[in-house]
Amino acid sequence: MIPKGKLLIIGGHEAKGDEGIGTLIVEKRTSAISHFEILGQLIQHIPRLHHIIEIIASASEIPKEMEDMYVNAYKNEGFTHVGIIKVENSKDANNIELIKRIQSAHAVFFTGGDQEKLLTIFKDSTMLHAVKTKYNNDEHFIVSGTSAGAMVMGQLSITGGLIGSTLLKGDIQITQGFGMLDNVLIDTHFIKRGRFPRLAHAVLLNPTCLGIGIEEDTALIISGGTDVTCIGSGMVLLINGKHITHSNVKTADEKTPIVADNLRVNILAQGSNFQL
């Protein structure tokens, strides 16, 4: 089925001053664009008097000051109603009153945090079914996620993994994602946290899936499930395993480095377009 709605996946944005072990210092030379602004631009083209966005906060705890920031930022971009839905367990994810709010919304936004928690809570839930149904059938509906909230959108999702000097068996954990995009694996904070090896490992294990690595302050707008536009100050890397001519990923033991030939990579930036 070709979805009628739009999908906005965002590479995340770390707070200033939190660079630590395992992160790279990345210099930004182009102007950033916030996801608030992006969603505001998208809804400006939807002919309605009122625009409703529901923020789904499950992957992490959102303090009151962060809630206020979300509400104020989205209202500044043209949303007349900004709601926050706190989904802490599977019972919440099947709550009929919360699901009615999703069905009445014009956009939903999944916050960052812990993607494994997000996937566990929403697995086979009525709320996820409602989001996907509206995304598939409403051309004016927007589904958005940042960081962990973006990583869950693909057919598969990385839930954890070591980033070492070599790829080794057992270093990565992968499970089923939300399935908003077929044959896709998404990783975020991609350059900042040095995650190329992790996504490459995931693609080697699942070569029919396209790996999409999105840097912070960078996003992809996806229409019709296939038409993709890159926006923001950073880059997006596409890792394609369909042309691999040799890899030992299936046979290597825990102490044998994993290798591959002809893993293809594309680099995208602001204004790039491609077809999934």
Per-residue pLDDT of the chain (276 residues; tens, 9 = 90+): 899 999 999 998 743 334 444 555 666 666 666 778 888 878 877 767 789 999 998 877 777 777 888 888 899 988 999 999 999 999 999 999 999 999 999 999 998 889 999 999 999 999 999 999 999 999 999 999 999 999 999 999 999 988 888 999 999 999 999 999 999 999 999 999 999 999 999 999 999 999 999 999 899 999 999 999 999 889 999 999 999 999 999 999 999 999 999 999 999 999 999 999
Domain contains 67: yes
Domain holding 186, by residue range, is 6-11+32-275
Domain contains 16: no
User: pTM of the prediction?
Assistant: 0.91
Identity of residue 76: N
Domain contains 92: yes
| Closest by Cα among 48, 109, 45, 60 to 82 | 109
Domain contains 24: no
**Domain holding 243: CATH number?**
3.40.50.880
Domain contains 1: no
Domain contains 210: yes
Cα distances (Å, whole numbers) of residue 92 to 99, 133, 146, 182, 232: 9, 18, 21, 27, 34
How many domains are contained in the chain? 1
Domain contains 147: yes
Domain contains 25: no
